[in-house]
Amino acid sequence: MPLRPASKPAAFLFHIGALLFLLALGYAFFAPPHSAPPPTYFGVGGDPLSFIWFLNWWPFAAQHHLPLFHTSYVNAPFGENLAWRAGVIGLALLAAPFTLKFGALAVYNTLMLAAPGLSGWGAYLAAYELSEDTAASLTAGLVFGFSNFMLGHLLGHLNLSLTFAIPFCLWACLAAAKHGWSTRRLALLLGLALAFEFGVSQELYATLLIFGALAAATLYALHPPARAALARLLPGVSLGIGASLVILSPLIWQMLRGYAGGSHSVASPADFSVDLLGFILPTPITRLGGHWLAPLTNKFGGNTAEDGNYNSLPLLLLLAYIARTHRAAPAVRVLAGFAALACLLALGPYVHVLGAEVSTAPWLPASVLPFLKSMLPARFMLYAWLAIALLLACWLAAPGRKPPRYALLAACLVFILPARGYDRNWTRLPIPAVFTNGAIPPGSRILILPESQVEMGYQYAAGLRFSLAAQGYLGTGAPARLARWPLYRALFVQKYQAALPRINPPMLAAFLAQYGVQAVVVTGDFAPGHTPAPASAAVAALLQRAGWLPAGAGADSELFHPPANNPPPDAAQLAAFMRMPAPEQRGLNIRLEQNWVHAIRLMARLTGLNPAPLLAFYAAHAHPPLPVDAIR
């Protein structure tokens, strides 16, 4: 017998109990392991700090009467168009009273801790409408709320973790069809849920509309008797979408206005598509096998947070078994078809196998169309996981013996349990004293080096007392006028930091003067008797060679001020700097030359020739100043 509450109030209590259970489970799983001294944030890398910054930005901008969708606090002097950034504006405005009282960092941590439970609860509600079985629905909530997709994005993507509104929209449609809701009631609920989702993630709002249409098409094709119900829902759904568009019209208008300038910063769909082998190979966020297979799965495109397609072979086999043996059940047929479609589209424009493109894939035409090209296919796995969770609930609730089914599912879910190291993904953010002790005058334009994607956290901790010149991580992309500088990648992209010592000092001085940088903070271990990290030492030395003056060092940072005479470069100087090779490219060129010299020596040794004239010929004709004798 399915576990089903006897009355409406009992059902309500069951639902609230399920919410509390899922929230408690999320908290128990992700709560900080020890009382780390603040500030500590949930997640890793720069993404969480950009969300904390955004949660703080919207109330800050409203309080200080600043333009909401353009900020000069990052990438100064050009600033940043925020309309196309993952700015979680809806969440930020709803949470503003709490942000003002407790701070954005506390609000961010709370939202991230609540995200798996809330999202799981949405799936629970939808599954309950389908199955009317509390235990099966709770299982669906667990599968969705703690799915590989969710666990990946819980590494730092607030906008993709708080997905409650998506299963909630599905629940509203199912409930409307089942209980005969009025058009107005469905439209109101859908309108509010869709508007909320847009405020959390514009991308998920758009994909929700697309996948909602695909779900309806799948239902239409695979279960003809449901066509009449679909037709009855159509007015309510249309009105709901229309209502959300009306509520969101100011935001959509800002996005359309900033389309040309802002949409370029969205990552490439080909890079953020799921790998074909990702369905069966666990990534490092998975406990069983994730670590051993990391050398293979590191070849996947995008990053670990985005590889949300790991189902595990046992679960895939179970799903195939369910789809085959229960295909007579319309819900199973439709959900299996929809999950397969979502997985297919998540492959992106090209099929990838261990990161290598091996074929075209169905998302190819969409990946070149306006707006659609801004969606990252790997994130379509959200819909696949939702369908999988509901499919499992329907199977668990189907007539027959339940314990073997739960046991079989539990055995399959063991393979997607998260890794032990992952469930403690809290990061401490020590704030160098220079940002808060008044050494930097309010309103200054500063640069924080070496780049470590934590500058947004420093700026937030300092209460936005300073703006960041030519830097500020709010997602991918940088203003083209900054990125064209040859020193840009060595200075601001972490993987090119080895080239820092090769930056031309006059070019750096010109760069800093051109953008009116008033101070540079070099972070690192500058305590007496300690040796700062190579990147910090390289930046400090480079600044001194560029004529900048040390203005005081703390244990965790050193402050530099510009020289007294610091004119910006004229047009001819600028043009000359732009023609210079990039420092990281110079490094590559040197390695290439070294390889050629080694190859010539090897060839001479193998053929018994004298290498000296060969090298002399090469040096004279290919690279005259090449110090051949110095290459060992």
Partner 1 sequence: MITHPFFWIALVSAVLVHRDAKRRSAARPLAWALAVLLFWIVALPAYLWQRRANHP
Binding site for partner 1 (CB under 8 A): 270, 344, 349-351, 357-362, 364-365, 368
Buried b vs exposed e over 347-382: b needs ≥16 C-beta within 10 Å? bbbbbbebeeeeeebebeebbeeeeebbbbbbbbbb
Which CB, 361 or 434, lies closer to partner 1? Answer: 361
- Neighbouring C-beta atoms of residue 226, cutoff 10 Å: 17
- Indicate the residue type of 157: H
| Smallest distance, partner 1 to C-beta of residue 103, A | 46
| Smallest distance, partner 1 to C-beta of residue 353, A | 9
Which CB, 270 or 449, lies closer to partner 1? Answer: 270
| Smallest distance, partner 1 to C-beta of residue 327, A | 21
**Side-chain-facing half-sphere of 374: CA atoms under 13 Å:** 21
Nearest to 123, CA basis, from 154, 168, 153: 168
| Smallest distance, partner 1 to C-beta of residue 286, A | 26
Which CB, 349 or 432, lies closer to partner 1? Answer: 349
Which CB, 241 or 353, lies closer to partner 1? Answer: 353
Distance CA 309, CA 462 (A): 39
DSSP bridge pairs for 561: 549
Cis peptide before 33 (omega within 30 of 0): no
Which CB, 353 or 493, lies closer to partner 1? Answer: 353
What is each CA distance from 198 to 104, 126, 160, 210, 245, in whole angstroms? 20, 20, 11, 14, 10
| Smallest distance, partner 1 to C-beta of residue 358, A | 6
| Chain position carrying tokens 């929230």 | 23
Which CB, 369 or 606, lies closer to partner 1? Answer: 369
Nearest to 187, CA basis, from 244, 253, 237, 135: 237
| Chain position carrying tokens 């004798």 | 629
Which CB, 300 or 350, lies closer to partner 1? Answer: 350
| Smallest distance, partner 1 to C-beta of residue 360, A | 4
Which CB, 352 or 445, lies closer to partner 1? Answer: 352
Alpha helices in 286-380 (DSSP H): 294-297, 313-325, 330-346
Residues 104/42, Cβ–Cβ less than 8 Å? no
- Residue 555 makes CB contacts below 8 A (sequence gap 6+) with 433, 525, 526, 527
Cis peptide before 613 (omega within 30 of 0): no
- Distance, first Cα to last Cα, the chain: 78
Distance CA 251, CA 266 (A): 18
- Sign of the CA dihedral 154, 157, 160, 165? positive
Which CB, 143 or 341, lies closer to partner 1? Answer: 341
| Smallest distance, partner 1 to C-beta of residue 502, A | 32
Which CB, 192 or 353, lies closer to partner 1? Answer: 353
Buried b vs exposed e over 604-628: b needs ≥16 C-beta within 10 Å? beeeeeebeebbeebbeeeeeebeb
Instruction: Write out the H or E segment, with its range, that includes residue 80.
Output: strand 80-81
| Smallest distance, partner 1 to C-beta of residue 366, A | 10
Which CB, 360 or 595, lies closer to partner 1? Answer: 360
| Smallest distance, partner 1 to C-beta of residue 344, A | 8
Distance CA 362, CA 348 (A): 7
Which CB, 199 or 301, lies closer to partner 1? Answer: 301
| Smallest distance, partner 1 to C-beta of residue 349, A | 8
| Smallest distance, partner 1 to C-beta of residue 268, A | 12
DSSP string, 39-78: PEEESSSSHHHHHHHHHHHHHHHHHTT--SSEESSSSBTT
SS3 213: helix
Which CB, 42 or 350, lies closer to partner 1? Answer: 350
Which CB, 221 or 358, lies closer to partner 1? Answer: 358
Distance CA 511, CA 141 (A): 52
Distance CA 312, CA 585 (A): 41
| Smallest distance, partner 1 to C-beta of residue 356, A | 11
- Indicate the residue type of 464: L
DSSP bridge pairs for 560: 520, 550
| Smallest distance, partner 1 to C-beta of residue 585, A | 23
| Smallest distance, partner 1 to C-beta of residue 365, A | 7
What is each CA distance from 101 to 95, 104, 240, 374, 599, in whole angstroms? 10, 9, 34, 35, 66
| Smallest distance, partner 1 to C-beta of residue 357, A | 6
Which CB, 142 or 270, lies closer to partner 1? Answer: 270
| Chain position carrying tokens 């599912």 | 409
What is each CA distance from 206 to 203, 217, 241, 373, in whole angstroms? 5, 17, 11, 12
Which CB, 268 or 436, lies closer to partner 1? Answer: 268
| Smallest distance, partner 1 to C-beta of residue 345, A | 11
